[in-house]
Amino acid sequence: MSTVSTRLVILTEIIAPYRIPVFNALASHPELDLHVVFLAETDKSLRQWRVYKEEIRFSYQILPSWRWRLGKSNFLGNRGLWAALDTMSPQVIICGGYNYLASWEALLWARRRRVAFVLWSESNKYDARRKRSWIEALKVYFLRHCDRFVVPGKASFAYLTSLGSSAADISVAPNAVDNSLFAAEAEIAHANATAVRQKLKLPPRYILFVGRLVPEKGVFDLLRAYAGLESAVKSEVGLVFAGDGVSREELMQRAKAISPGTVCFPGFAQREDVAGLYALAELLVLPTHTEPWGLVVNEAMACGLPVIVTSVAGSSHDLVEDGWNGYVVPPRDPEKLKFAIDAVLRQPELKRRMSLHSLERIQQYSPEACAAGLAAAATGSR
């Protein structure tokens, strides 16, 4: 007996590499007819990701767009969304976020057409943007006009309920990366460790940070924590900042004052290289001051790394168990960050157990699990 599929449109910002396997998995769902609308192909001013269009196995389109910046704010405008929705005539819209003009246009379209509207939100109570009262007021208004919600984990779930959303209306689609791909690339890197170290100019042992080199990522906290380690530890273990950003030059200048110790800046690494960085590292540190999730934690765990993360990162509530597969530390606290790093580096057996636990935990955070959560939100089945 044939099944009538629900026409689902997902509205999201860019063709992010980590979303492609999720949408591929969702496209194979027997009860859904998926079409993804991207507001832009990428954002080169903030991200240097390659766009892996050859891996896409779902129906999609990219809307004409333009960007402009006002201070620290980034605005994205589009045209053609209303006509696209009229053409596709979806029965359900899943909208990634509420901070785009297109999000509000899609909400208005859905309300006029009496189409189910699902907000896909990663915000949590630690989000730095929450300090702006007018943003909070707009957010609450937007939430009141949504039918259902989908979130990546515990922090965003708790935040939505604190704003008045019913827990019964919230589905969980755990944030995910392609675990199999990262595990396979890590295996290759281990087998070719010398060549990888030479290519990326890596020290024999190192602590790893992956992300934008900006103050809000806590990069200066990490540098201070590393500087505070005992000389014997720094002589054996370096620090690698993989990424780029406005703080790179200042970090490099400050790093010159650290002796002994080695601080490396290999630059931004595409997916093909970043697995090698994870594979050969001692641990990943994400010392962020604000972070809806932090997918570098998923990537590192898929490569078998212990993880140290601050308590404000959304992933800290789901992926990292203090003392089990890493440590959760307060933000802006280089001293506690130093102690956590030192504990992992000085206890090889603890590090080995944490590595195994990371691999165990991350299996639950697969593209298929994320797709299942999105499907539940789309169909209202939870």
Q: Which two tokens stand for residue 103?
A: 């999000």
Q: What average pLDDT score do residues 227-244 get?
A: 97
pLDDT above 60 for 90: yes
pLDDT (0 to 100) of residue 49: 86
Domain assignment present for 1: no
pLDDT reported for residue 128: 62
- The parent domain of residue 10 ranges over 6-176+366-379
Q: Is pLDDT above 90 for 282?
A: yes
What's the pLDDT score for residue 1?
A: 41
Q: Structure pTM?
A: 0.95
99 with 65, same domain: the answer is yes
Q: What is the pLDDT of residues 169-195, one digit of tens each?
A: 999 999 999 999 999 999 999 999 999
Helix and strand tally (H, E) in the chain?
Answer: 15, 15
Kindly report which listed range (29-33, 64-68, 108-112, 294-298) carries the lowest average pLDDT score.
64-68
**What's CA 367's distance to the chain center, in Å?**
13
Question: Does residue 331 share a domain with residue 247?
Answer: yes
Task: Kindly state whether residues 200 and 232 are assigned to the same domain.
Answer: yes
User: What is the pLDDT averaged over residues 117-143?
Assistant: 85
CATH of the domain at 207: 3.40.50.2000
Q: What are phi and psi of 271, to 5 degrees?
A: -55, -35
Confidence of residue 315 (pLDDT cuts 50, 70, 90): very high
Question: Please, which pLDDT band fits residue 46 given cuts at 50, 70 and 90?
Answer: confident
Which candidate, 35, 64, 143, 157, places its Cα nearest to that of 99?
143
Whether residue 144 is found in the same domain as residue 222: no
**Is 266 part of any domain?**
yes
Percentage above 70 pLDDT, the chain:
97
Q: Examine the pLDDT at 58 and tell me if it is beyond 50.
A: yes
Residues 375 and 382: their CA atoms lie apart, in Å, by 8
On average, the pLDDT of the chain sits at 95
Question: Structurally, how many domains does the chain consist of?
Answer: 2
The reply to whether 168 falls in a domain is yes
Of the candidates 143, 135, 120, 142, the one whose C-alpha atom is nearest the C-alpha of residue 12 is 120
Percentages helix, strand, coil for the chain (3-state, rounded to 5) are 45, 20, 35
Q: What percent of the chain has pLDDT over 90?
A: 88
Q: Is there a single domain that holds both residue 308 and residue 223?
A: yes
- Is 249 in the same domain as 335? yes
